[in-house]
């Protein structure tokens, strides 16, 4: 379940980041453009965190991480 929630969260964060990156060049004010790119990079960071935790959750589920004898 955690893996699928990470997938959903990563897709949402990636979509927000893509929207921020694609709309930033249309902004006329340089300060607003820098702010928009900063928020887009933040959402891309959150997407990366979700992907990493999703991979770790999958590895734990498959028994490739941790001690499988304790299960």
Q: For 56-65, how does the pLDDT look when each residue is reduced to its tens digit (9 = 90+)?
A: 999 988 888 7
Residue ranges per structural domain of the chain = 2-61
pTM (two decimals): 0.80
Give burial (CB, 10 Å; 0-12/13-18/19+) of 35.
Answer: middle
Query: Helix (H) and strand (E) counts for the chain?
Result: 2, 0
Q: For 30-40, how does the pLDDT look when each residue is reduced to its tens digit (9 = 90+)?
A: 888 998 999 99
């Amino acid at each position: 379940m955690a893996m699928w929630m990470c997938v959903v969260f990563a897709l949402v964060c990636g979509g927000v980041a893509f929207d921020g990156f694609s709309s930033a060049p249309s902004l006329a004010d340089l300060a607003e453009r820098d702010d928009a790119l900063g928020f887009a990079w933040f959402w891309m960071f959150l997407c990366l965190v979700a992907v990493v935790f999703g991979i770790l959750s999958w590895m734990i589920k498959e028994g490739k991480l941790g001690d499988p004898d304790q299960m």
